[in-house]
Amino acid sequence: MNENRYDIAIIGGGPAGCTLARLICHKYRTILIDPKTDEESSFKKPCGGLLSEDAQKALARFDLTLPKSVMVDPQIFAVRTIDLESGLIRHYQRFYINLDRHRFDLWLKGLIPEKADILTAKAEKITRDKDGFVIDCGEKKISAEFIVGADGANSVVRRTFFPKKHLRSYVAIQQKFRENNPNPFYSCIFDRATTDCCSWSISKDNVFIFGGAFPKDNCRGRFEEQKKKLEEKQGFCFGEPLKTEACTVLRPRGFKDFVCGGGNVLLIGEAAGFISPSSLEGFSYAFDSAILLAECFLKGAQNVEKRYRRASLGLRFKLFGKVLKCPFMYQPFLRKTVMKSGLMSIKEIKSG
Ligand SMILES: Cc1cc2nc3c(=O)[nH]c(=O)nc-3n(C[C@H](O)[C@H](O)[C@H](O)COP(=O)(O)OP(=O)(O)OC[C@H]3O[C@@H](n4cnc5c(N)ncnc54)[C@H](O)[C@@H]3O)c2cc1C
């Protein structure tokens, strides 16, 4: 047997790829390809690192509990929603777990049984040949019958095999600062003048993170403009940034923005466009799509694509529901009306 030949090659070891590898490796010869390591210089995905209730439920389905080592200080129960245009502020109860994103990814990777091979590398190029696919990972070449793209927003798998799919994308920019807020908080910020998406701030282990998703055109200028407004209008104190990071984030607009796959190439997680366009929450969809694809593979490799397309219909409808929710969050008049009404919000009690 060719030692570099696999039934299934999973490109990308984020929440989606690690979950799929864990679930299918006892039935298929599986390899997971991802460049992340525990070294300081390793690639670390820029992320808010908030585990939503739906994502917690996905982990609960595996009877998994979170080790304290992936959690950070403080834990939060509410989001301070700031509408910069109208000046309205409301607090809404949320049940997130505040995580260190990189440690969370490494923990998920550590759950993969030894039966699966893990290659610490980047898939540079993937080509189809008569026996399946060849993945060029620089020093190593891997061949496989099926390719699973779990490689996130900027997926090389999606760009190679579905080049006509142009999903709506933004540039997510995050900056880290030394925490100097006396009372750390989590906020979600809306400001139509700088972005038609949203921004956020959160504290993690004495580091204050401010980030947002911006249209590509002048994204850095928009980010800086929003920071200035937050300093002037909301009293945010940023100070000198310790680190600036950026990456692509997808924001589906409808069914045509989801790509399940075809021709022995399958996509899961954000690579498939599975991320909430209203909150940019992506962990739960990464877990859920990986579980659905695993269940399809475990029934047999034949017709797996057809089964996965059918099985993921509910997930795609759920995301479409988030598309319909967007105007209530992002259309200034509707948002103002909802915020003014105080519907679902928490009344703040000021002490002192
Ligand atoms: C700034 C920001 C903040 C966010 N905050 C949150 C949040 O708080 N909560 C939440 O639920 N979601 C959040 N999201 C969304 C969430 O990060 C993603 O939707 C989620 O991580 C998707 O998981 P995934 O496994 O599909 O892809 P990813 O987590 O993106 O993982 C993809 C993996 O593929 C690897 N990879 C990429 N290219 C290659 C290649 N060529 N070869 C090999 N490996 C490759 C990468 O190293 C990475 O490990 C945020 C997104 C951004 C950009």
Query: Residue 161: inside a domain, yes or no?
Result: yes
- Helix boundaries (H) for 183-261: 219-234
Q: Which domain holds residue 267?
A: 5-52+100-167+253-326
What is the rounded CA–CA span in Å between residue 111 and residue 323? 33
> Once rounded to an integer, what is the mean pLDDT over residues 170-199?
94
User: Whose structure tokens read 């000021």?
Assistant: 350
Query: Residue 77: inside a domain, yes or no?
Result: no
Q: Cβ distance 291 to 307 under 8 Å? A: no
Query: Residue 351: inside a domain, yes or no?
Result: no
Query: Residue 261: inside a domain, yes or no?
Result: yes
Residue 327, C-beta contacts closer than 8 angstroms, at least 6 positions apart: 334
Same domain, 236 and 259: no
For the chain, what is the domain count? 2
- Rounded to the nearest angstrom, the distance between the alpha carbon of 118 and the centre of ligand 1 is 18
- Is residue 273 within 6 Å of ligand 1 at its C-beta? no
- Rounded to the nearest angstrom, the distance between the alpha carbon of 188 and the centre of ligand 1 is 20
Residue nearest (by alpha carbon) to ligand 1 atom 38: 151
- Is residue 326 within 6 Å of ligand 1 at its C-beta? no
Same domain, 199 and 339: yes
- Rounded to the nearest angstrom, the distance between the alpha carbon of 289 and the centre of ligand 1 is 14
State pLDDT tens for residues 89-103: 999 999 999 999 999
Q: Cβ distance 185 to 76 under 8 Å? A: yes
- Rounded to the nearest angstrom, the distance between the alpha carbon of 341 and the centre of ligand 1 is 35
Query: Residue 314: inside a domain, yes or no?
Result: yes
pLDDT at 133: 98
pLDDT of 1 > 80? The answer is no
pLDDT of 352 > 70? The answer is no
- Is residue 149 within 6 Å of ligand 1 at its C-beta? no
- Is residue 36 within 6 Å of ligand 1 at its C-beta? yes
- Is residue 123 within 6 Å of ligand 1 at its C-beta? yes
Q: The domain that contains 272 carries what CATH number?
A: 3.50.50.60
Same domain, 233 and 115: no
> Once rounded to an integer, what is the mean pLDDT over residues 46-57?
96
State pLDDT tens for residues 270-301: 999 999 999 999 999 999 999 999 999 999 99
- Is residue 156 within 6 Å of ligand 1 at its C-beta? yes
Same domain, 28 and 110: yes
- Is residue 43 within 6 Å of ligand 1 at its C-beta? yes
Helix H, strand E, coil C: the string for 249-292 is EECCCCHHHCCCEECCEEECHHHHCCCCCCCCCCHHHHHHHHHH
> Once rounded to an integer, what is the mean pLDDT over residues 228-232?
96
pLDDT at 184: 87
Query: Residue 78: inside a domain, yes or no?
Result: no
With bands split at pLDDT 50, 70 and 90, how would you rate the model's confidence at 22? very high
- Rounded to the nearest angstrom, the distance between the alpha carbon of 147 and the centre of ligand 1 is 18
User: Which residue from 109, 136, 137, 270 has its CB within 8 A of the most atoms of ligand 1, so it is best to mutate?
Assistant: 270
- Is residue 277 within 6 Å of ligand 1 at its C-beta? no
Same domain, 143 and 213: no
Same domain, 154 and 214: no
- Give percent helix, percent strand, percent coil of the chain, each to the nearest 5: 30, 25, 40
- Is residue 34 within 6 Å of ligand 1 at its C-beta? yes
What is the rounded CA–CA span in Å between residue 257 and residue 260? 10
Q: Cβ distance 308 to 266 under 8 Å? A: yes
- Is residue 270 within 6 Å of ligand 1 at its C-beta? yes
In this prediction the pTM is 0.97
Tokens of 243: 């680190």
With bands split at pLDDT 50, 70 and 90, how would you rate the model's confidence at 349? confident
What is the rounded CA–CA span in Å between residue 220 and residue 242? 16
pLDDT at 7: 98
Q: Which helix (H) or strand (E) holds 202?
A: strand 199-204
> Once rounded to an integer, what is the mean pLDDT over residues 336-340?
94
Q: The domain that contains 217 carries what CATH number?
A: 3.30.9.10
Same domain, 193 and 286: no
Same domain, 180 and 236: yes
- Is residue 184 within 6 Å of ligand 1 at its C-beta? no
- Is residue 116 within 6 Å of ligand 1 at its C-beta? no
Q: Cβ distance 10 to 105 under 8 Å? A: no
Q: Counting runs of H as helices and runs of E as strands, what totals does the chain give?
A: 9, 18
Same domain, 41 and 124: yes
Query: Residue 68: inside a domain, yes or no?
Result: no
Same domain, 155 and 112: yes
Task: Label the pairing between strands 140-149 and 265-267.
Answer: parallel
Question: Alpha-carbon dihedral of residues 246, 248, 252, 256, nearest 10 degrees?
Answer: 170
- Rounded to the nearest angstrom, the distance between the alpha carbon of 75 and the centre of ligand 1 is 22
Same domain, 331 and 320: no
- Is residue 45 within 6 Å of ligand 1 at its C-beta? yes
SS3 111: coil
* 273 φ, ψ (degrees, to nearest 5): 90, 15
Query: Residue 66: inside a domain, yes or no?
Result: no
**Summary mean pLDDT of the chain:** 96
Residue nearest (by alpha carbon) to ligand 1 atom 1: 47
Same domain, 32 and 174: no
- Is residue 9 within 6 Å of ligand 1 at its C-beta? no
Q: Cβ distance 329 to 337 under 8 Å? A: no
